Amino acid sequence: MWKKIFGNTKDENSNTYTSLLENIDRTRLPRHVAIIMDGNGRWANGKGMVRSAGHTAGVKALKRTLKAASDFHLEALTVYAFSTENWKRPTAEVDFLMKLFSEYLEKEIAEMDSENVRIDFIGRLDGLSPALQKQIDDARRRTVNNTGVKFNVAVNYGGQDEMVRAVQSLAQDVKAGSLDPENIDSKLLESRLDTKDLPPVDLVIRTSGDIRLSNFLIWQTAYAEFWFTDTNWPDFTKDDLAKALLDFSQRDRRFGGLNKKK
Ligand code: IPE
Ligand code: IPE
Ligand code: MG
């Protein structure tokens, strides 16, 4: 049966996977899903449009996906919106993206708040404009007591940069005399990462057909499951998320141990 379902070609209007998910054993679903929202530019090019149109369409996909994450009762959703390497793009594209983030927050924050979403941000936020930093801070503070999905947006985020900042913070403590290097272990290092308040990443989804991490959550994905799709991010639907979650539910996670006896 699974083969038959997973072998089906994509049907835009289908909610096959969403319906199947309703009957699933919830303990088999991920707590924390992280998404590399890729393929906006290719989506636009394929339609003869400019890349920025792809980013605008990508915001719609993000809204859909956040709603779906709430519907599926995920504990945490982390999305990769802008990497530390994305500054290499033409200034016009970078400026467009920054403006889009700002508009997104301005337009969506009230609804997110009313839907009990707790929004947070990871990455080197002090590298963003003061105005955007203020919006980020306001959004975070406004929703900090919400108890629904923990929605984390990675902006100016790089896994290597995050590790460097974590190591710097430990080194500061060593220098100040409050930390013995021998007491540094993975738990302590983890407590200095941007994701310290989040459950471990269970599932990484990447759209658009590229099969790489691109510096996303390099520490946190040590034992994550991966799910790739050729669908470009602007075309990603609730049902695609359901499909990924169903696939995850069939995986046998061993964490270096042995299979549970079936
Ligand atoms: C992802 O889409 C969005 C960002 C990286 C900001 P891309 O802009 O990378 O689109 P492609 O990969 O060039 O198609
Ligand atoms: C990763 O996508 C970053 C985001 C989705 C924000 P990229 O498009 O920047 O990744 P590469 O350059 O193809 O590896
Ligand atoms: Mg890309």
d(CA 251, CA 254): 9
Question: Which pair of structure tokens corresponds to residue 225?
Answer: 């499951």
Q: Are 192 and 169 in contact (CB under 8 A)?
A: yes
> Considering 45, 86, 146, 215, which one is annotated as catalytic?
86
Q: Are 62 and 236 in contact (CB under 8 A)?
A: no
Q: For residue range 64-110, what is the model confidence (pLDDT) as tens digits?
A: 999 999 999 999 999 999 999 999 999 999 999 999 999 999 999 99
- Is 259 an active-site residue? no
Cα within 13 Å of Cα(222), Cβ side:
7
Question: How many angstroms separate the alpha carbon of residue 2 from the centre of ligand 2?
Answer: 31
Question: Which stretches of the chain are assigned E, i.e. beta strand?
Answer: 32-36, 76-83, 118-122, 150-157, 203-206, 225-228
What is the CATH number assigned to the segment(s) 28-249? Answer: 3.40.1180.10
Tell me whether residue 225 is annotated as binding.
Answer: yes
Q: What is the mean pLDDT of residues 119-142?
A: 98
- Is 137 an active-site residue? no
Q: For residue range 237-252, what is the model confidence (pLDDT) as tens digits?
A: 999 999 999 999 999 9
Tell me, what's the pLDDT at 3?
A: 45
d(CA 260, CA 262): 6
Tell me, what's the pLDDT at 113?
A: 98
Question: What are the structural domain ranges in the chain?
Answer: 28-249
Tell me whether residue 23 is annotated as binding.
Answer: no
Give 189's contacts (C-beta < 8 A, 6+ positions apart): 166, 167, 170, 219
Lowest mean pLDDT, pick from 8-22, 170-184, 213-227: 8-22
Q: Are 54 and 93 in contact (CB under 8 A)?
A: no
Tell me whether residue 55 is annotated as binding.
Answer: yes
Mutate to test the pocket of ligand 2, among 65, 157, 214 (most ligand atoms within 8 A of CB): 214
Tell me, what's the pLDDT at 4?
A: 46
Pocket of ligand 1 (CB under 6 A): 37-42, 82, 86, 97, 208
Give the pLDDT band of residue 22 (cuts 50, 70, 90).
confident
Tell me, what's the pLDDT at 23?
A: 85
What ligand 2 atom has the least distance to the C-alpha of 210? 13
> Considering 38, 194, 235, 240, which one is annotated as catalytic?
38
Lowest mean pLDDT, pick from 6-15, 170-179, 197-206: 6-15
Q: What is the mean pLDDT of residues 197-202?
A: 96
- Tell how many helices (H) and how many strands (E) occur in the chain: 9, 6
